[in-house]
A and B are shown apart, each in its own frame.
Chain A
Amino acid sequence: MRRVVNWFLNCFPGRRRRLERELELELRFHAERRVEDLVDSGLSEAGARKRAAFELDGFTPIREDVRAAWVPRWIDRCRLDLRYAIRTLWRSRSFTATAVLLLGIGIGATAGVFSLFDQVLIRRLPGVTHPERLVHLDWAGNSLSSSWGSGHLMSYLLCRELEDVEGLFDGVFCRHPTAVNVRAGERSTSVRAEIVSGSYFPTLGVHPSLGRLIGPSDDLRPGAHAVVVISYRFWADHLGADPDVVGHTVAINHHPMTVIGVSPADFEGVDLGAPTAVWIPAMMKKQATPEWDGLLDRRTAWMHVFARVEPGLTVAQARPRLQAWFKGLLDRETRSEDFPRVTEEQRRSFLASTIDVLPAAQGSPQLRSFLQRPLWMLLGTTFLLLLLASLNVAGLLIARGATRGQELDTRVALGASQGRVAGQLLVENALIALGGGLLGLLMAPLVTRVLLSMLAEDSTLSAALDARVVLFAFLVSLVAAGLFGVAPAVRLKRQSLTASLGQRSRILTGIGFRRALVTGQIALTLVLLVGAGLFVQTLTRMHGNVGFDSGNLVMVSVDPLSIGRSDSEAERTMRDLMRTLEDLPGVTSASVANTRMLQGGSSATTLTVLSDVGRAVTDGPVSYTRVGPGFFTTLGVRFAVGRDFDERDVRGSGGEQPSYRSIIVNESFAHRYFGRQSPIGRLVGFGSQPNTPTQTRIVGLVSDFSRRSLRDAELPQAFVPFWDGDSRNGTFYLRARGELGSTFASIQTSVGQLDPALPIAITTYDEQIGESMRTEELLASLSIGFGVLALLVSVVGLFGLMSFVVTLRTREIGVRLALGATRRDAIALVVREALIMIGIGALIALPMIWALGRLVEAQLFGVGAIDPATVAAASVLLAIVGLGAAGVPARRASSISPADALRFE
């Protein structure tokens, strides 16, 4: 150990110099004593000196052996290589800086994207024991259920029954993510919550940091377990890390519940990136989600079901055994009394259902399914950029190798082995790569932060560097060093000493290689430019798809039920609010709908349509929205024919299913089911059974506009009256005049006067548009960014190469000019070469563009994955910029004086 430390210390120049000086003194002392002794024994002084000197240096290289005792020879050699490499790189600072910068950009972008990729797609659920054994269970087939929420949903009862399956699982649990209002003391906030079964914490293997967690004893009788577990973060941020918090009461949606414990700091639920603040027992579902219940309804699917596979059992083994059990369950269900009356076909498809067993080591796939594609695309793009940067550095190295040829040859001629020279180059490349890697690490958190702000603002994903990102950056640097270092090294190996005598031929082989590299860069750049073109077009097409003027439109969402108001109170509040908001100064018109537009969700149902050809059922569920009178006028959606809703349109209120007297459809709906005929006056019914009553009359036809997302303007849509006796929450839409800030303020004051406790969410419609196009905007701005970077990098490469070509061919061009070629011919010579490279690059790019198109198809809108116009435009842009880069050297070629050129060299 001591020795290894010394090896290292002895490498420092100061210490090394002292060692050398002392060795010299030590050996001189030895020699002098020897001379004295020899003289004493009778030798002449001169003879003694000669003998002593011979003994000292005659046989062995004593100094070399002593130095090897200080530092082993191989380390010493590396040290020298390193010192030499640093000196060489420092001498050509501009080259080094360019190479490090290029690599830093490439590595920084790649590592920054990897940081997110790792957190979302690779890393396992934190705070959970053996996450690799967790699986997600999903009903595959027709479950005859209505569903609440998104993702793979099953009923609570099915989850409990799965717990009883023997010999497969070490536990089964279910959870439903939602948002609740929490009031602790005076402060009230809306937070993410999970409604969980009693098996949730035991199965995950999570232990409390305070108090106890929800267990099976909290999962017995509906409404009887008013307890909550709060997250460590919520405890620290909102409750001041109060050590006596256990036993305190908080209000969840105005229902008092007792805090029984605090989760450990590293566990925040099973949805990575969307941390849970409060866990509520499933039995308290009615209090947690006041607008709907269905806890003990077999046909309501709302829970994400997870299980822990027994050790030693693989998913493949578990699957068939689970199916056998499931078959029996389905069979029993169809024979039970409360099984819904269905057609024979529906019964068959129900009985054919299976349960999917999906790996869930990373928890709930919500965030993952949203980010998976963008992240893969980003990672691919950044690798392209890195490849581009590496190719460029390889080009720089070859250009440098051409001028360094003589230095290297001299070293070989003076006795350095080829291996030593290659090793020397390797050290230089490693230093460049390491420099690039370090710069990349500095840039990576910035890249991650920018991506986070665009992708997942309110998630817990972190932009900080961690060991895995550092390791990744290091590996990527090595790969890059391999990429850019191999080319010059291979060339070095190929050439023998004699070949270097013919300097010119060698430089020319280098040129061929650089040409190939630049062509490759042009191809990659074209791919990135085409990608940018596709995403930008997607963005503009979607912006044009709103369907009306979105300026000065304000949305106000309220939910009186969330603060514990009764149904009748809530309905009264909604009506009062409608009247107040209509009369606000600065509001030209106002209306209401049951949901927020462009938020993704909506109710949908299959409709029975009576047309000229008879009774027909819609192709699938048609999304329908409940809207108040004046909704379309407020938005600015045109009525093609017919009229708006008024108070006559609701037939009675209350009851199981409100029955609508009237319905309004959009043009796509009319076109799909009535062709060219007017839909006004036609009858439709809610449902698809042969006996579904068709008593709802189409009274209006509105032009198409985007409802759930900006991609769905051309889907059939239906609208029914909002005030149907079930109007207890919703979103108001206000068309404002003039300055929005004051409108916002007056909205807040008037809502506050009506019900001070009522939380409201106000946004402009333009903000909602921006929110719904976050992914598309991200892709567009990123692809433009990458496209421009790539263009820049390859223009630098092209410019460098063409300048080099002109220098090399100065003599030839001079001769041609002397023999009568015009200046224009000289320019053409250079430009032609550049054009050939761009053309070949474009040809190479075509299959890559095709592959890219397949990859991003799902993200595009309104433009084909293979869009000839985009490819053409990108190629023209590339050609113009490329010719611009070649133009400067071309002009230089044209101004060559024949006389000077012939003197050249």
Chain B
Amino acid sequence: MTDRLTIPQGTLDVLLLHIISLDRAHGYAIAQRIEQVTGDAISVTQGSLYPALHRLEQKGWLRSEWRPSDTGRSAKFYSLTRAGRKRLAVERDGWDRLTHAVQLIFNES
């Protein structure tokens, strides 16, 4: 196994909000997606994934519904609420500004 990045909670929340904003998804699909997109660089264990999903749901940023998955079994799908969408915009904006600023510092030298 290669060294994988572990990510802080706040970052995980943004990632989850972003992925779910693309399309509603169940927990397993979300984990898969993160690994695929980052080329296995980031791994999210179930141990941090599910508590995070439930926390975001309790905060009112996600809502969930039970519907058949692609394999036909019933799964819990998460989607963004209006509040979640707003939150994501705020978080992304903050994230962009931070990376931009960090990039500026790196570029200087």
A residues bordering B, Cβ < 8 Å?
2-3, 6, 10, 22-23, 25-27, 29-30, 32-34, 36, 55-56, 59-60, 62, 65-66, 68-70
Contacts and interface: CB of A to CB of B under 8 A. Distances in A.
Contacts of A23: 50, 54
A70 B54 contact: yes
Contacts of A29: 26-28, 69, 73-76
Given A29-B28, A29-B73, A62 B59 contact: no
Contact of A26 (B27, B51, B55): B27
A2 B59 contact: yes
Which of B51, B74, B75 is packed against the most chain A CB atoms within 10 Å? Answer: B51
Given A22-B76, A30-B27, A33-B28, A70 B58 contact: yes
B27 A62 contact: no
Given A29-B75, A29-B76, A59-B47, A69 B54 contact: yes
A278 to B, nearest CB: 61
Given A25-B76, A55-B46, A65 B51 contact: yes
Given A26-B27, A65-B51, A33 B71 contact: yes
Interface in B61-75: 66, 69, 71, 73-75
**Interface size bucket, B side?**
20 to 34
A65 B12 CA distance: 15
6 contacts: A2-B60, A3-B58, A29-B27, A30-B46, A62-B47, A66-B54
Contacts of A2: 58-60
B50 A66 contact: yes
Interface in B22-41: 26-28
A866 to B, nearest CB: 68
B28 A3 contact: no
Nearest to A62: B47
Contacts of A10: 58
A445 to B, nearest CB: 43
Nearest to B47: A60
B52 to A, nearest CB: 8
B45 interface: yes
B45 A27 contact: no
Given A55-B46, A60-B47, A68-B51, A26 B71 contact: no
Nearest to B27: A30
Given A3-B59, A70-B58, A62 B51 contact: yes
Nearest to A58: B47
A172 B109 CA distance: 81
B76 A65 contact: no
Interface of B: 26-28, 45-48, 50-52, 54-55, 58-60, 66, 69, 71, 73-76
Contact of B46 (A22, A56, A70): A56
Contacts of A27: 46, 50
A10 B51 CA distance: 15
B58 A62 contact: no
A10 B54 CA distance: 12
Contacts of B54: 23, 66, 69-70
A55 B27 CA distance: 14
A23 to B, nearest CB: 8
Given A6-B60, A33-B71, 8 more contacts: A22-B66, A22-B76, A26-B50, A26-B75, A27-B46, A29-B27, A29-B69, A69-B51
B76 A26 contact: yes
A409 to B, nearest CB: 36
Nearest to A4: B58
The 3 lowest CB-CB distance pairs between A and B, nearest first, are A60-B47, A65-B51, A69-B54
Contacts of B74: 25, 29
Given A3-B60, A26-B76, A34 B45 contact: no
B82 to A, nearest CB: 12
A215 B52 CA distance: 72
Contacts of A3: 58-60
A32 B73 CA distance: 10
Contacts of B58: 2-3, 6, 10, 69-70
Given A3-B59, A70-B54, A30 B28 contact: yes
B48 to A, nearest CB: 8
Which of B50, B52, B73 is packed against the most chain A CB atoms within 10 Å? Answer: B50
Nearest to A36: B71
Contacts of B48: 60, 65
A55 to B, nearest CB: 6
Nearest to A6: B58
B100 to A, nearest CB: 31
Contacts of B52: 69
Contacts of A30: 27-28, 46
A201 B19 CA distance: 72
Contact of A66 (B28, B51, B73): B51
Nearest to B69: A29
Contacts of B66: 22
A32 B26 CA distance: 13
B72 to A, nearest CB: 12
Contacts of A59: 45, 47
Given A32-B73, A70-B54, A60 B45 contact: yes
Which of A3, A30, A36, A68 is packed against the most chain B CB atoms within 10 Å? Answer: A30
